[in-house]
Amino acid sequence: MTNTSPIEPVSFKQLSEINPSVCFFAQLQLEGLGVVDANRLVKIESSHFDAERQRDDHPPNVLLTRFSDKTSIYFTHSLPQELVDTIQNEDLEDVLTTTNNITAILKAASLFHEFEQSITYTIPNLGDLTFEGTRSIVASDDPLINQFNPTFYRKFPMAYAVLHESKVVSCCVSSRENDRAGEAWIFTLPEYRKQGFGSKAVLFWASELQKAGKIPLYSHIDSNSSSRNLAHKLNLMQVFENVSFN
């Protein structure tokens, strides 16, 4: 019989093994970005699955990344050096003031459209944890996924599903995935939300990626309270925050 009861948050014991910088560069690779000359962002050739490839077409003009112990800053390869020098004089530890000042500098150069704040988490090793009532599905040829959400059916190569009464009620997929990492995208049918199904789907997805030797990443824009609540519910480890200026 399928166990459909909500699951409890996982108590993680291996937080010290997580390297936030490794997670950061893994996410950059997923977005088709690399770093040259210490702090310049460039597009890199990539053929991995990326449902957001069009969005990732250009590096941000400036990327401000805050870790628990430091703040780093990166610039698109085409940003004039004089602007880079001006921005690097900012106090990076005062993120709010720096964000306002970078915005003003880029606006003055007609290089500002918007900025976006986001938070990225990872999921420490889940070990041998098992998940009843779950199934990994090749999404493109499975009617269960088509009935659940046609977007998943058309777009994603693999889905990690939670079933209730023989029906898919929640799915986690990789919005981007390569041989190093994957980034989660989760959807639960509205009538089944707040019952633990979404939490189970995310952890099941993460467990399967870890078995393949990959880093599971979960991120959301700062204003997305639902995603933030899910991250807190699961005790996910926050590894860095980004402020990207476009």
- Of 61-65, 153-157, 183-187, least confident by mean pLDDT is 153-157
Percent of the chain exceeding pLDDT 90 equals: 73
CA angle, residues 208, 225, 151, in degrees to nearest 5: 50
Residue 2: pLDDT over 60: no
Whether 242 and 207 have beta carbons less than 8 Å apart is answered as: no
User: Is residue 97 packed enough to be buried (19+ CB in 10 Å), middle (13-18) or exposed (0-12)?
Assistant: exposed
- Of 56-65, 81-90, 220-229, least confident by mean pLDDT is 56-65
240 within some domain: no
Domain boundary among 122, 149, 165: 122
C-alpha separations of 135 from 34, 100, 125 in Å: 34, 46, 20
**Distance from the first to the final alpha carbon of the chain:** 51
| pLDDT at res. 6 | 37
The mean pLDDT of 216-245, rounded to a whole number, is 94
115's CB contacts (< 8 A; 6+ apart) are 99, 102, 103, 243, 244, 245, 246
Average pLDDT taken over every residue of the chain: 89
CA 59/CA 79 separation, integer angstroms? 11
Which residues on neighbouring strands pair with residue 173, listed in sequence order?
185
| pLDDT at res. 128 | 84
| pLDDT at res. 198 | 95
| pLDDT at res. 141 | 76
- Of 7-11, 74-78, 191-195, least confident by mean pLDDT is 7-11
- Do 45 and 81 lie in one domain? The reply is yes
**Of the candidates 126, 141, 137, the residue with the CA atom closest to the CA atom of residue 163:** 137
- Do 103 and 143 lie in one domain? The reply is no
128 within some domain: no
Residue 45: pLDDT over 60: yes
Residue 16: pLDDT over 60: no
4 pLDDT tier (thresholds 50, 70, 90): very low
Whether 72 and 239 have beta carbons less than 8 Å apart is answered as: no
User: Looking at the 3D structure of the chain, how many domains does it have?
Assistant: 2
CA 199/CA 9 separation, integer angstroms? 8
- Do 115 and 139 lie in one domain? The reply is no
State the amino acid at position 151 in one-letter form: T
**Of the candidates 205, 212, 213, 211, the residue with the CA atom closest to the CA atom of residue 236:** 205
Beta strands in the chain (DSSP E): 33-36, 40-43, 49-50, 62-66, 71-76, 115-122, 134-138, 158-164, 167-177, 181-188, 215-221, 237-245
Domain that holds residue 104: 15-122
In the DSSP assignment, the letter for residue 166 is: T
Q: Is 144 left (phi over 0), alpha (psi -120 to 50) or beta?
A: alpha
17 pLDDT tier (thresholds 50, 70, 90): low
Beta-strand pair 40-43/33-36: antiparallel
Residue 95: pLDDT over 80: yes
- Do 165 and 92 lie in one domain? The reply is no
| pLDDT at res. 55 | 61
- Do 154 and 183 lie in one domain? The reply is yes
| pLDDT at res. 154 | 77
Here the CATH number for the domain that contains residue 158 is 3.40.630.30
129 within some domain: no
